[in-house]
Amino acid sequence: MEQAQHRFSPQRNTGRSPQTGTDLSALQTPRIAAKTYHGRSGRNGVRVWVEEFNPTAKHRREQTVVRPLPLHLELRSHSPTGFAWGYSGSGPAQLALALLMDATGEPTLALRHYQEFKFRFVAGWREEWRITETEIRSFVAAQENLPGCQLA
């Protein structure tokens, strides 16, 4: 079952200036939801994976690639043993950091916002969850106070 996610509204702005020193081009919304992130916990442990959609692939079976989400321990090592969710500990912090890093490609942005992402999203997820790259980028854009972006 999917957990309800926070939604974002591109209608409002807080009026504050964006954070400086960061390449915000990584936050441009893709035309197609290129990545969807999934997690599932069960008797055999936890599993987190990324589905990447490639509309330019020649064959239909090559349009979707599934891969595990890297831990990104090179940025910060909260939980070298793996991801977790449903509470506010080190495993959820590592998951939040990895999700933001994978979705934005910007270490500075991921490090700046992963703790808030953990509290707002990851800590509330149940056994199974799903979130898109667009939802993650929208969260980061709202946190960066980009014009027209704010949490709904």
Beta-sheet strands, E only, within 4-63 = 8-9, 35-42, 45-53
Is 21 a member of any domain? no
pLDDT at residue 92, rounded to an integer: 98
Is 141 a member of any domain? yes
State which residues form the domain around 124: 31-146
Is 1 a member of any domain? no
Is 11 a member of any domain? no
Is 134 a member of any domain? yes
What is the tally of structural domains in the chain?
1
pTM (predicted TM-score): 0.75
Q: How far apart are CA 59 and CA 66, in angstroms?
A: 15
Q: How far apart are CA 126 and CA 87, in angstroms?
A: 9
**Span 19-33, pLDDT tens digits:** 555 555 555 544 555
**Span 87-130, pLDDT tens digits:** 999 999 999 999 999 999 999 999 999 999 999 999 999 999 99
**Span 33-67, pLDDT tens digits:** 589 999 999 999 999 999 998 777 777 777 788 99
Does the pLDDT at position 11 exceed 60? no
Is 57 a member of any domain? yes
Is 107 a member of any domain? yes
Is 13 a member of any domain? no
